[in-house]
Amino acid sequence: MRAVITSGRDPRPPGDSGGGSAGAGNLAERVFRIRESGILVVLVVFVAVTTLAQPRFLSEANIQFILVDTTVFALLALGETMVVISRNVDLSVGSVLGLSAYASSNLFGHHAGIPIPVVFLVGLAIGLVCGVANGVMVAAGRVPSLVVTLATLYIIRGIDILMFSGQQVVEAVLPNAFLAIPKSTVLGVPDLAIAVAAVIVVGDYYLRNYRSARELYAIGSNPEAARLAGIPVGRRIFTAFALSGAIAGIAGVLWAAQYGTIDSSAGTGYELQVVSAVVVGGVAIFGGSGSVVGAALGALLLGTITTALYVLGISPFWDQAIWGALLLLAITLDQTITERLTSALRQRRTRHV
Amino acid sequence: MSSLADRLRAAGRGAARWETGLAIVVLAVIIGGSAASPQFLTGSNVFDMGLSNGEIAIMTLPMTLVVISGEIDLSVASMLGMSSALLGVLWSHGWPMPAIFVAVAALGLAAGALNGLLVTRLRLPSLAVTIGTLALYRGIATILLGPTTVANFPTAYTNLGVNGVPGTNGDVTYSTLIFVVLAIGFGVVLHATPFGRSIYAMGASAEAAQFAGIRVKRIKTVLYMISGLICALAGVLYTFRLNTSVENNGLGLELDVVAIVLLAGVSIFGGKGSMIGVVLAVLVFAGIQNALLLTNFNQEATGIVTGALLLASVFVPNAARWIRHLTRPRTQKA
């Protein structure tokens, strides 16, 4: 029934525009809005409660910290969302980020004066190659993405370790302009957060309005039906993986700028955090529904929680348990809404017939 | 009524192809390992191999059942860590060891039951649920222990982790012995009991199994509880082997466990796989890790081999099918 939910994004069928009993599309659309705004409400309530307990939480420095800290995850979540919508998963993002972070920032040490955009391009290229590899294997090989990306998670991390283990890129070799990227602000808002927000808005527009993106939802709802409907399933899935890889590559360069010290373990375990953010953000793990904005909000919520616990003086040892509980809550809530919606739609349809 | 032996034999036949391939790989690993290092086949090295892979191997057994039933359990390493943490905390509070074992087993069962109930009663996807409990259980381990490390376990227990089983020349670890005994038990249950057959049935089609009168939800919950219990056992072994209870014990092992199970030919979509395959895959995994260690390959990078094996495990059967498809004479035309 996931197809029904996503149809809320499509233009309403003509018959639904008026009349007392709103059509299925209308209802689905309303619930969908609730799903996304639900995360926003949780976020706002969480920030409000934390601020009441500790006003320091809303200080400019702290907000900047949260925003910058979230950017990398929000970016990764963007790519992951496209993959998950198509009923796949990309577990290799953490390893891709790690390889890109080291290989790209390492250039500064070996080629002093290399322009920063070139370094970003190198990161992008590394990510793209990894993403293309994933995409080819999943789309052309027709093997489960969970297995393929679990394998590339290991292989890419292994390559990273073989090439760079025992070495470190230290802050001293990185140019100041590069390290300043996460620090510069416009009217108190980090440039990086603005840039990532812009990317997310573009991604959201694309996923809502472009044919190729809508086909991703169709594939995720029912791969077999999508194939029969003439959708180039393989090509779409390939593109989603390639984009996810490319984005992880860029995120790697940003990670390097943010942390300054990079070794071959950068980004280890990020895959589960990214999948968590995406799922908390309301993207169905079995595809067919969800939005980039939701996923980004999920990443922001998780980042905010971590910082809030710190500000509230709650031991950071509680972070993970609260994260886990929240994730379980999010998927339970999501499932409940989906089931309610499904039965509501079924009732409406029978009434009309 | 067929005898137990008959049914086991039938199971062996049905799953023969992939397992034959794995057996050849095991032989290749043994030959390659011996060629790479004269130490490979020595008793003390066999001991080391068992030591460094024992807990992972034990955790593959319940994972096999869960995956065949059509679900997945990514929280296994966190349940190991949580059990290890509880063991450490209770010991530092002066509990007697037998009482601690009961408590740890109860915790494992409870953790598995929560996974199972969330998956079956709330109908949530197991992938998402167990990523959530992966974080939750690891988080509970962290809350239990904080930054402390408990390391003063009695030598009577920690010796179990570092000594060999008597009568084996000290070459077989207790974890290896436990793995072998459990693997036989799990194999018999999976391949020769109605309970085991019902796991395949629900993995092939949960709906059909339901209509055939199989209590899908109950059995899946039981499988998750078994997983919790076995992971608790692995947690105890891990703790005694390293004589350390610390919050990040076993961090990330879930991926190794899943990799071995998939390498064994167990289908990620459920309904297919065998215990013999899993035992062979454990041997391949342990053998390659160990051979690489002996040849001074960067130990952290051995994941490359695990990854390559995983890819091979999905592509080789596909390639075989393509080749068969291409070489088949096209006489029939619909």
pLDDT value at position B144? 94
| In chain A, domain spans | 22-352
**ipTM exceeds 0.85:** no
**What is the average pLDDT value for chain A, to the nearest integer?**
85
Which of A108-122, A313-327, B109-123 is modeled with the greatest confidence? B109-123
Nearest to A102 by CA among A57, A43, A153, A165: A165
pLDDT digits (tens, 9 = 90+) for B170-229: 788 999 999 999 999 999 999 999 999 999 999 999 999 999 999 999 999 999 999 999
Please give the model's pTM, rounded to 2 decimal places: 0.84
The CATH architecture of the domain made up of B4-332 is Orthogonal Bundle (1.10)
Is the CB of A144 less than 8 angstroms away from the CB of B131? Answer: no
pLDDT digits (tens, 9 = 90+) for B85-110: 999 999 999 999 999 999 999 999 99
More confident residue, A285 or B109: B109
Tokens of B269: 């979509």
Residues of B in contact with A141 (CB under 8 A): 314-315, 318
3-class secondary structure, B150 = strand
Residues of B in contact with A142 (CB under 8 A): 318
State how far the Cα of B101 lies from the Cα of A8, in Å rounded to an integer.
53
User: How many Cβ atoms sit within 10 Å of the Cβ of residue B244?
Assistant: 16
User: How many Cβ atoms sit within 10 Å of the Cβ of residue A20?
Assistant: 4
**Helices A292-311/A319-352 angle, 10° precision:** 150
pLDDT band (50, 70, 90) for residue B316: confident
**Locus of tokens 């980090």:** A190
List B150's β-bridge partners, or say none.
Answer: B245
**Locus of tokens 């939910």:** A5
State how far the Cα of B154 lies from the Cα of B190, in Å rounded to an integer.
37
pLDDT at B321 exceeding the cut of 90: no
- CA end-to-end distance (rounded Å), chain A: 19
Residues of A in contact with B143 (CB under 8 A): 315, 317-318, 321
pLDDT band (50, 70, 90) for residue B141: very high
Topology of domain A22-352, CATH:
ABC transporter involved in vitamin B12 uptake, BtuC (1.10.3470)
pLDDT at A164 exceeding the cut of 50: yes
pLDDT at B157 exceeding the cut of 60: yes
- Which of B75, B130, B137, B143 should we substitute to test contact with A (largest number of A Cβ atoms within 10 Å)? B143
CA nearest B134 in A: which residue?
A: A324
Nearest to A34 by CA among A288, A341, A274: A341
| Phi, psi (rounded to 5 degrees) for A52 | -60, -40
List B173's β-bridge partners, or say none.
Answer: B164
State how far the Cα of B141 lies from the Cα of A270, in Å rounded to an integer.
20
pLDDT band (50, 70, 90) for residue B266: very high
pLDDT digits (tens, 9 = 90+) for A249-261: 999 999 999 998 8
The answer for B243, left when phi > 0, alpha when psi is -120 to 50, beta otherwise, is: left
Is the CB of A142 less than 8 angstroms away from the CB of B318? Answer: yes
pLDDT at A20 exceeding the cut of 50: no
pLDDT value at position A272? 82
pLDDT band (50, 70, 90) for residue A9: very low
From the list A144, A154, A331, the residue facing B128 with the nearest CB is A331
3-class secondary structure, A190 = strand
From the list A144, A147, A327, the residue facing B135 with the nearest CB is A327
Nearest to B200 by CA among B184, B180, B182, B223: B223
Average pLDDT, integer, range A21-34: 58
Nearest to A194 by CA among A32, A64, A347: A64
| 3-class SS shares of chain B: helix, strand, coil, % to 5 | 75, 0, 25
pLDDT value at position A299? 92
pLDDT digits (tens, 9 = 90+) for A65-90: 888 889 999 999 999 999 999 999 99
pLDDT digits (tens, 9 = 90+) for A209-223: 999 999 999 999 999
Min mean pLDDT across A16-20, A110-114, A343-347, B143-147 is at A16-20
Q: Determine whether B195 is exposed, middle or buried from the number of CB atoms within 10 Å of its CB (0-12, 13-18, 19+).
A: middle
